[in-house]
Chains A and B, each alone.
Chain A
């Protein structure tokens, strides 16, 4: 079983819809990252969380340390949000490397 699991694997939405992507992990972590990857493109770091909630524009990320769960929300989705969203965790073992989920492929249609 992967240490980081994301759901759903694939997600389609109509423009304007509210979107939620979930991430569960089974290890102790010091931080959780949400990343965005466009097809054939590089990786952009969206959020780094160790507790609570962060907001940037239409994106909101939350984390519940006790439940080992994080969510990424996109409000008023737009076709340009179409990308793969990846959850990654930094384990508390001080190895300073990230463990990645397999990603959620989001397509937003106009």
Chain B
């Protein structure tokens, strides 16, 4: 029973390119959360998705960032026209449902470096 799978583990992009980060939740989990960890900073919420729906995107930057969780396939966090300040570790977590009774399982993260 694989955990939350994120790929790639490491991603290097030049300024202005696009970055696509993928997250496959645990089997049976339909809720996905993306978090960002900037260098020397704590984790910050970005977006919460269920299958085909964005539930809360209050943590997403207004421009260049988008997320989806299609009916089939992994959740994708997409960053267009990357800038140096986007360099960070991006973590995905999944849970089986909403509510305090349910814990989270985290992925290993994608470390994005913009050069």
A97 touches B100 (CB 8 A): no
Asked whether any CB of chain A lies closer than 8 Å to the CB of B63, the reply is no
Which range holds the interface residue count of chain B?
Answer: 20 to 34
- In this complex, what residue of B is CB-closest to A87? B42
Chain A residue total in the interface (Cβ 8 A): 24
- In this complex, what residue of B is CB-closest to A96? B98
Does more than half of chain A's interface fall in helix, strand or loop, or is it mixed? strand
Given the known inter-chain contacts A42-B106, A44-B106, A96-B48, please indicate yes or no for A86 contacting B42, CB distance below 8 A. Answer: yes
For A97, give its contact among B33, B42, B108 (CB under 8 Å).
B33
For B104, give its contact among A30, A33, A41 (CB under 8 Å).
A33
A101 touches B106 (CB 8 A): no
Given the known inter-chain contacts A31-B100, A42-B106, A44-B106, please indicate yes or no for A97 contacting B59, CB distance below 8 A. Answer: yes
The answer for the CA separation of A30 and B102 in the assembled complex, in Å, is: 11
- In this complex, what residue of A is CB-closest to B100? A30
Tell me the A residues contacting B by CB distance below 8 Å: 30-31, 33, 35, 40-45, 48, 50, 86, 88, 90, 95-103
Tell me the B residues contacting A by CB distance below 8 Å: 31, 33, 35, 41-45, 48, 55-56, 58-59, 91, 93, 98-100, 103-109, 111
